[in-house]
Structure 1
Amino acid sequence: MPGPDQQGMEYGMFTNPVQGEQRSLYQELVQVNRKLEQKVQELNRAQQRLMEYRKVFECTGDLIYVFDRDYRYLMANEAYRDCRKSLFPDLIGRTLPEVIGTDTFARVKPQIDACFAGNELSYEDSHHYVDKGTRDLLVTFSPVFEGERVERVACLIKDVSERKHLEEQLRQSQKMEAIGTLAGGIAHDFNNILTVIAGYASLIQINGEESEAAAMAGEILFSVERAAEMTRSLLAFSRKQEVHLETVDLNLLVAELHKSLARLISEEIELVVRVSGGEVCCVADRGQLEQVLINLAVNARDAMPGGGTLEICTGIAELEDEEVAPGRYALITVSDNGTGMAKEVQERIFEPFFTTKEVGKGTGLGLSSSYGIIKQHNGAIRMHSECGTGTSFRVYLPLSGERPRVESDGSEGRLGAGSGTVLLAEDEETVRDMTRLLLERHGYQVLTARNGQEALELYRHNQGRVQVLLSDVIMPRMNGRELCEQVRQLAPGLPVIFMSGYPADVMSEKGLCGGGAYLQKPVKPEELLGALRRALCV
């Protein structure tokens, strides 16, 4: 144990005022040290966050820079420096007019001044880069406040070219969908009109026999068929329906189109057709292939406003191509000696809605639809053009080892007079009157109804007389399918023939044409009469 003197000395150490003050200072020093350590930790965290922000600032592909009220650069990220091809020391301290040019600065200065007034704003712009070409940009100016005053402005420039491209693709897709919907409605109404034209032309032929009027009626019927094929081609392109392939002799196809194409082009253009010495048979949808030739002829005509020569040739050629299997193909060549096309136009010629024609003189659908049709046929279309010397399109289609099927001339429907009573349900008055007249001229008795409900009442009152139901599909109050179901409850075996301006696959998708034969308008008179004969013979 310590002695008395030592105990007193220890006691005095704790009670001595001077020593007590030292201890208080020591404790304060410990607290200050702790606060200092906290500050250092906060500083380290702040530095870490600053480094992270710096990484984001430098690593982003967006262009970012900051400038003060004198329009001098305070900082700029690597993407912006690379865009301006400037080293960091050479950019900082310079003014915006020096770097971006006085003209560009004058154009964006109102937006910058609005930002210095405290407003954040964005706008779309474009810029031509040496290595990337013209790009679409979204420019955002954000104010940086110090107190209530904006001392700096941060600018963010985002490249939105890809987004704009996707948006444009979406708009084009929506346009195509709208065209498909519009084409369906137009086809229905237009095919009703063509049905009336074809019916009356057929009656003129029957009444006129070998007269000049009968010959003219034959030309009308030929034009009706071409118009019907064009409508079906438009539907096929807009709805991307499957093509109906058959063996087609290109020599006969071109020869049959010769007269129509001659009328389509101007008198100042000479049409020259050169067909191969032997058969050139391919697998194709005849109507769509005719539409391709019409599209190419129209483009050639427009490329020769002062006249020239349009040449169409057929043949067989070898094709080595990455898009299709190599080998021998049936070939159609459509050439003109018109204005030709520049390289930049050639690169976009098959794009939907792209056209070099004036507003109102072109939709930009002709060549794109032709390209789509040929691709659906597992073929290829190639183009060669030079400014001032003309353009040549070469269409390659798979060869067929079979001969074309010989179509019936429709005499079956015209042989002799028919007999029996037909219940005709058709809401279009002109189609109803023409069909009634056509059938009556061929020996049938006809009961007519303006809609499905009226037709059902007529059938109930004439059940013993009616031998066949001939009905449009789309009608008010009761459609053709509903009419068929109601009539079949009364007479299960009654023959039913449907007619519509819409294609059969569209009606099937909607469930509107089950339970009977189907004729798509415009219906050739011989097809209608033949269908009636077959129905009544069952």
Structure 2
Amino acid sequence: MEYGMFTHPVQGEHRTLYQELVLVNRTLEQKVQELNRAQQRLMEYRKVFECTGDFIYVFDRDYRYLMANEAYRDSRKSLFPDLIGRTLPEVIGAETFARIKPQVDACFAGSEVSYEDSYHYLDKGKRDVLVTFSPVFDGDRVERVACLIKDVSERKLLEEQLRQSQKMEAIGTLAGGIAHDFNNILTVIAGYASLIQINGEESEAAGMAGEILLSVERAAEMTRSLLAFSRKQEVHLETVDLNRLVAELQKSLSRLISEDIELVVRIAGEELCCIADRGQLEQVLINLAVNARDAMPGGGILDIRTDTAELEGEDLPDGRYALITVSDNGTGMAKEVQERVFEPFFTTKEVGKGTGLGLSSCYGIIKKHNGALCMQSEPGAGTSFRIYLPLSGERPCRQREECEERLSAGSGTLLLVEDEETVRDMTRLLLERHGYRVMTARNGHEALELYRQNRERVQVLLSDVIMPRMNGRELCEQVRQLAPGLPVIFMSGYPADVMSEKGLCGGGAYLQKPVKPEDLLGALRRALGG
């Protein structure tokens, strides 16, 4: 038998009663199972309701609290140990309630309402929050409103960082275009200054031309620094004398800081040479000087000194390092600021006054140079940054006699392709002055036709990369079909990494504008096997 209360066969009306009891028993079991499932779901909902860090509460049409989760209750516990039964104006204050009442009333009218606001957390301070009021219907009427308050400060920070990175990408694109045009101008200035030097020999004009060339080199380094700051830029490593770098940068830094700040520069007595990108190291010092200036709004002392240091047990390998120290006696930094000072996009400056990229880019540059950037600061006592760089046994090799040798006369015939008339005319004049025979073309099509007519004479193709209709790489491919072994030298105002990404400078040597005359002549001699 299916039902245990019967001990003998069931017949007639007893069978009918038995069947009804079995049906009732099964129904009861189903109801119990449904109740257990409902209680389980209720417990799960309760866990979510209580365990979330978001604030959740429910109130009725009298704006009276019906329930609130633990996170919200804890936020109000100092004032109201028991929220349930109290009204919103009583708990959040009449002024705040008056500000949010239009949104609450819109929700009671049947609409879900979301808006951004701020909330002062007891443990986290002022934070950005997203407030959502959701209607709870009883039939066709909204009887209750559920409120969810979510902390969105981290999301807003990420959004701001994304906007900043998009700005930097736009700056990178703009900087690339500016660099191209500016480097063409610098190429012309450098070329004519070099010709003045050659024609004037030891005259006063030749000395002035030398100063022009130094200014051109400085401008070119500033352009590279701009590109390095705003986009991925290849590192141009050379042997750099840090004493000379700091001394030459002193005049620029004096103009950068305000008149009420005294700049003190102290150079080490011994030579400090490192393998580094000169432009990027200058960028680091400029950024540190700008930060020091901003930390001394009422004036002060900016102290920059070079020295050596013996490191042991630090992040760097033990040994002797070059040391550049940049110190100020400004406002200093609190401990919580110091912990985040090298984070990208972190800034203590007001909106519009800083990107939060200065110190983070400095940190990245020094790390790429296998060095370390350390900081010491005390509120009200100033800040000191120490730059450690590996010393090199090499010395800068830019001696006058080497430059004269590289500027010596050559011989050979080359095809010069350049769409900028001023660059084309200057380069032709410079090369002819040094013994080369030069044929010129304004674009790729003209150059290809000129080469077909003079293929037996042309020994080197010297071409700009970005040109209308046919770029330098396409011209190179066309010419190489006629003369597979012809040496090709590319020139461009864009950096080499940009050219490589676009696939525009394959198949030849590469010179980035502004091209120094000695670099151009050296490349030609190598191409001609001299």
TM-score, scaled relative to structure 1 = 0.84
Match of 2:395 among 389, 393, 404: 404
* Alpha carbons of structure 1 residues 73 and 245: separation in structure 2 relative to 1, 3 Å: same
- Aligned-residue offset at 1:109: 1.5
Aligned to 1:297: 289
The CA distance in 2 between the partners of 1:536 and 1:269, in whole Å, is 54
1:98-144: CA deviation from partner (whole Å, max 9, x where unpaired)? 22222322222211111011111112222121212233322211111
Residues 206-253 of structure 1 deviation map (CA, whole Å, 9 limit, x = unaligned) = 344344443333222112212212222333344445534444332232
Q: What residue is the counterpart of 1:53 in the other structure?
A: 45
* Match 1:461 to one of 448, 453, 457: 453
> Which position in structure 2 is the counterpart of 1:180?
172
Q: Match of 2:461, as an amino acid?
A: L
Which residue is 2:117 aligned to? Answer: 125
Corresponding position of 2:491: 499
CA distance in 2, matches of 1:333, 1:510: 40
1:82 deviates by 2.4
**Bigger radius of gyration, 1 or 2?**
1
Point out where structure 1 has 5 or more consecutive residues left out of the alignment.
1-13, 15-19
CA 1:264–1:45: 2 relative to 1, 3 Å: closer
Deviates more, 1:311-320 or 1:519-528: 311-320
Residues 45, 258 of structure 1: CA spacing in aligned structure 2 closer, same or farther, 3 A cutoff? closer
Distance 1:357 1:28 in 2: 80
Contact in 2 for aligned 1:497/1:516 (Cα 8 Å): yes
Alignment equivalent of 1:428, drawn from 420, 428, 431: 420
Q: Distance in 1 between matches of 2:189 and 2:484?
A: 34
Please show how residues 338-353 of structure 1 align to structure 2 within 5 Å: 349-353=341-345
Aligned match for 1:251, one of 237, 243, 246: 243
**What is the aligned counterpart of 2:147 among 144, 151, 155?**
155
1:477 to 465, 469, 474: 469
- The answer to whether 1:534 aligns with 2:492 is no
- Matched residues in 2 for 1:299 and 1:331: separation? 19
Residue of structure 2 in register with 1:514 after alignment: 506
Stretch deviating more after TM superposition (207-216 or 284-293): 207-216
2:480 aligns to what?
488
Q: 1: distance between equivalents of 2:33 and 2:279?
A: 80
- Structure 1 residues 260, 157: closer, same or farther in 2, change over 3 A? closer
Amino acid at match of 2:123: D
Matched, 1:108 2:109: no
Contact 2:161 2:345 in 1 (8 A): no
Q: Shift of the alpha carbon at 1:277?
A: 1.9
Alpha carbons of structure 1 residues 508 and 208: separation in structure 2 relative to 1, 3 Å: same
Shift of 1:53: 2.5
Offset of 1:155 from its aligned partner?
A: 0.9
- Give distance in 2, aligned partners of 1:493 and 1:24: 107
- Residue 108 to residue 263, structure 1, CA distance change in 2 (3 Å): closer
Indicate the larger mover: 377-386 or 221-230.
377-386
Where does the alignment leave 5 or more consecutive residues of structure 2 unmatched? 1-11
Could you say which residue in structure 1 is the equivalent of 2:82?
A: 90
In the alignment, the residues of structure 1 paired with residue 206 and residue 23 of structure 2 have an alpha-carbon distance, to the nearest angstrom, of 116
Q: Give the Å deviation of 1:42.
A: 4.2
Q: How many positions carry a matched residue from both structures?
A: 518
| CA displacement, residues 149-208 of structure 1 (integer Å, 9 cap, x when unaligned) | 111101112223333333344444434444433333332222222212212222333344
CA distance in 2, matches of 1:444, 1:328: 48
CA contact (8 A) 1:201 1:217 kept: yes
Partner residue in 2 for 1:11: none
Q: How much is the aligned-residue C-alpha RMSD, in angstroms?
A: 3.4
Q: In structure 2, do the counterparts of structure 1 residues 278 and 93 end up closer, same or farther at CA, with 3 Å as the change threshold?
A: same
> Identity rate of aligned residues, in percent?
85
Q: Find out whether 1:414 has 2:413 as its counterpart.
A: no
Native 8 Å contact 2:80 2:91 kept in 1: no
Residue 24 of structure 1: how far off its partner (Å): 8.9
- Label 1:510 to 1:95 Cα distance change in 2 as closer, same or farther (>3 A): same
Q: Alpha carbons of 1:359 and 1:143: their partners in 2 closer, same or farther (altered >3 Å)?
A: closer
Residues 31-70 of structure 1: pairs in structure 2 closer than 5 A: 39=31, 41-70=33-62
- Kindly state the Cα deviation for residue 364 of structure 1 after the two structures are TM-superposed: 4.8
Alpha-carbon separation, structure 1, partners of 2:360 and 2:81: 52
Counterparts in 2 of 1:267 and 1:432: CA distance versus 1, 3 Å: farther
1:408–1:361 distance in 2 versus 1, CA, 3 Å: farther
Query: Once structures 1 and 2 are overlaid, which stretch shifts more, 319-328 or 420-429?
Result: 319-328
Deviation string 1:345-373 (CA, Å, 9 cap, x unpaired) is 65554444556678877655433322221
C-alpha distance in structure 1 between counterparts of 2:363 and 2:245, whole Å: 19
Counterpart position of 1:382: 374
Shift of 1:329: 2.6
Look up the SS of the partner of 1:184 in the other structure: helix
Cα distance change of structure 1 residues 137 and 262 upon mapping to structure 2, 3 Å threshold: closer
Q: 1:449 aligns with which of 427, 441, 447?
A: 441
> 8 Å contact 1:65–1:75 — kept in the other structure?
yes
CA contact (8 A) 1:332 1:396 kept: yes
Structure 1 residue 341 displacement after superposition: 5.6
Residues 244, 284 of structure 1: 8 Å contact kept: yes
**3-state SS of paired residue (1:91):** coil
Report how far residue 495 of structure 1 moved.
Answer: 2.5
- Tell me, in whole angstroms, the C-alpha distance in 1 between the residues paired with 2:27 and 2:282: 89
1:6 corresponding residue in structure 2: none
Alignment counterpart, residue 359 of structure 2, candidates 350, 364, 367: 367
CA displacement 1:500-531 (0-9 Å, x = unmatched): 12233332343322332221111011221232
AA partner of residue 459 (structure 1):
Y
- Distance 1:32-1:422 versus aligned 2 partners, 3 A rule: closer
- In structure 2, which of residues 258, 270, 282 is the aligned counterpart of residue 278 of structure 1? 270
Give the equivalent residue in structure 1 for 2:9: none
CA distance in structure 1 between the partners assigned to 2:332 and 2:188 by the alignment: 42
- CA distance in structure 2 between the partners assigned to 1:26 and 1:254 by the alignment: 104
Contact 1:243 1:376 in 2 (8 A): no
One-letter amino acid of the structure 2 residue matched with residue 156 of structure 1:
L
